[in-house]
Amino acid sequence: MAGIGVVTDSAASLPAEVAARHGIRVVPMQIIVDGEPFLEGVDITPDQVIAHLEAGRDVTTSQPSSEAFLEAIRSEAAAGARAVVVVTLSSELSGTYASAVAASTAAGLDVEVVDSRTVAMAQGLAAVAAARASAAGGTLAQVAAAARWTAERSTCLFTVETLDHLRRGGRIGPAVAAAGRVLGIRPVLAVEDGRIVPRSRARSGARARTAIAHEVGAVLASARGLGAPVGLAVLHAGAHWELDVDDSDVDLAVDGPVSAVLAAHTGPGTVAAMVAPLATLDAPPG
């Protein structure tokens, strides 16, 4: 490697083969089950997290330490990177961005930390855009700009079986969770400006998934109109979902589990879709 290294955290939900194909180094977040810590993707899987939740165990999460980011950055340097871009999940949802910034100041080489202001594969697609820009010979500024441009134009939609897991993690307020429980509403949620917000509501999980599918179709058409490659991810936690889309509209497609750390916050039955145009050096961010 002689270009710009790309690092992200495991909340990006990047499948291992996608991360390896694009040379993206993933820093694992921590899952704590009944007080015992596990590293995501190393010694705990999304399915295991779902099983712990269904068994009623106490499952919480913790951001990577600055030391973990520093180790990843230095590993990139040892592999030949002359600088590194770190793409993190939204600073509104976690202290991960702050950990990465702290690591960047001690790295001994140029590091730019990008707050994706989103999560899951919307963040993952931003990391992929950065890696593609690096592979095309981009500078540190160009690689970071590719990640930001993609993240800013990404769409992240999901629905959950219950809002209680998000409430316990402090990602939504108790009043919103209570209203959903009492009214039997299956919300369609989105990540906007770094925060989880309600997009619409449905009376069943099937209707919520249909609403997401309709919006994904419209977003795909809009993303394709930007003239950039388009990435689409369909993620799930203990509940498979097939999203019917025209393959010709998608340049990179991912179908797989939501990351373990996100499964801990959204709970069993979560399904999600993320769409983003991928910035390229041929079609530079503007």
CA distance linking residue 38 with residue 26, whole number of Å: 15
65 contacts 99 by C-beta, under 8 angstroms: yes
* C-beta neighbour count of 92 within 10 angstroms: 16
User: Residue 171: its pLDDT value, please?
Assistant: 47
Q: How many CB atoms lie within 10 A of CB 194?
A: 17
Distance CA 140, CA 111 (A): 8
Pick from 192, 66, 172: nearest CA to 122: 192
- Distance CA(158)–CA(258), nearest Å, equals 11
Q: What is the pLDDT of residues 130-175, one digit of tens each?
A: 999 999 999 999 999 999 999 999 999 998 876 665 555 444 555 4
Check residue 136 and give its pLDDT. Answer: 95
- Count of C-beta atoms within a 10 Å radius of residue 112: 19
Contact 27, 72 (CB under 8 A): yes
Per-residue pLDDT of 250-274, as tens digits, reads 999 999 988 888 888 888 888 999 9
Tokens of 161: 């079986």
214-248: per-residue pLDDT in tens?
999 999 988 888 888 999 999 998 877 888 777 67
Confidence of residue 204 (pLDDT cuts 50, 70, 90): confident
Write out the two tokens for 98.
């702050």
Run of H or E including 275? strand 270-277
236: amino acid identity, one letter:
H
What is the reported pLDDT for 183?
Answer: 52
> Residue 102: left if φ>0, alpha if ψ -120 to 50, beta else—which one?
alpha
| Cα–Cα distance measured from residue 47 to residue 262, given in angstroms and rounded to the nearest whole number | 12
What are the structure tokens assigned to 40, written together?
A: 């995501």
Q: Which residues pair with 201 in a beta bridge?
A: 187
3-state secondary structure of 38: strand
Strand partners, 7: 25, 86
Distance CA 229, CA 223 (A): 8
Quote the CA–CA distance of 240 and 224 in Å, as a whole number. Answer: 26
Residues 241 and 231: their CA atoms lie apart, in Å, by 17
DSSP for 97-130, written as a single string:
HHHHHHHHTTSSSEEEEEE-SS-HHHHHHHHHHH
Angle at 84 between CA 10 and CA 253, to 5 degrees: 45
Its sign, for the CA torsion 35, 98, 156, 45, is negative
Question: How wide is the angle at C-alpha 188 spanned by C-alphas 185 and 193, nearest 5°?
Answer: 135
- Measured distance CA(46)–CA(80) in Å, rounded: 32
pLDDT tens for each residue of 21-78: 999 999 999 999 999 999 998 999 999 998 998 899 999 999 999 999 999 999 999 9
